[in-house]
Amino acid sequence: MPGAGTLTRTISDAEGKQELPGKTVRSEGDPDTGDLATDESYVGLGDTFTFYKDVYDWSSLDNKGLPLDATVHYGQDYDNAFWDGSRMVFGDGDGEVFTRFTVSVGVIAHELTHGFTQFTSRLEYVGQSGALNESMSDVFGAMVEQYAKKQTAAEASWLVGEGLFLPAVQGRALRSMLEPGTAYDDDVLGKDPQPADMAGYVETTEDNGGVHINSGIPNRVFAVAAQALGGSSWERAGRVWFDTLTSGTLSPTVDFAGFSSATLATASSLFGTESDVHRAIASAWSTVGVDPMDAADRKT
């Protein structure tokens, strides 16, 4: 195991098969290969590691310098990227709707943050805790992208997966954190189904209780709070989210109200109950119709 703070990346090529890990094609310190997926994934892993280390003094995903491994060219026309519990896996897209999934630093950081959540808060992947799990990946994915691009909260697009859709698709991205439900409206894909507040919350048994759909609600909270506070999203709003996730006190089954209560407690501890940070976060939760006093899970 490398020492804490040491970035160690290994990129493998599945060569169109669905077998892991594949053939090693680039290791830490190696020059560009000329293969876009290989080199983009290498950069994205590095951007994510650098963000967690430089901003929060957190070493890799587990705070112990976990090596970051990835496999590219997974399967044929594979429309996804995922964290499998130990490595990143990237498909090349189908060439009709999606391009290769390494094109977005935000998507790379999103999937890696599932690993961060795995090692910290362990949010259960079902219902509201599952939607929070997805939202944490969008939140930190967005911050990694903004950090890499040196963007303020005001300058950022707050779009998740921008650049993944090919030109034929009527859409900007997979999701909009600032305006859930507006990312795409396409004849083939349909309309972005994410609700922007609890009035539109989707009760469903599909997708582990709607973890991808309902994640738009806490996504909007973070984006609204970060924009209200101004400056860089990771400095204040991001600090509250990070400290809440790494506190060791958050229940894996926490609901939206419980998480809102936890973020407000963190904001109060870090910045004070009368601070602009506490007010901005409280206002953002109110905007989406979440009341921390309604928390069903009081283990937070």
| DSSP strands (E only) in the chain | 9-13, 23-27, 68-72, 81-83, 88-90, 159-160, 175-176, 185-186, 190-191
Catalytic residue among 111, 134, 145, 162: 111
Distance CA 149, CA 260 (A): 29
Distance CA 143, CA 160 (A): 11
Prior bond of 21 cis (ω within 30°)? yes
Instruction: Give the type of residue at 60.
Output: S
Contacts of 77 (CB under 8 A, 6+ apart): 91, 92, 93, 94, 95
To 5 degrees, how large is the angle CA 220–CA 201–CA 195? 45
274 is catalytic: no
Distance CA 282, CA 160 (A): 24
DSSP label at residue 154: T
Catalytic residue among 73, 110, 114, 212: 212
Distance CA 290, CA 128 (A): 12
40 is catalytic: no
For the chain, what's the residue count?
A: 300
Active site residues: 111, 212
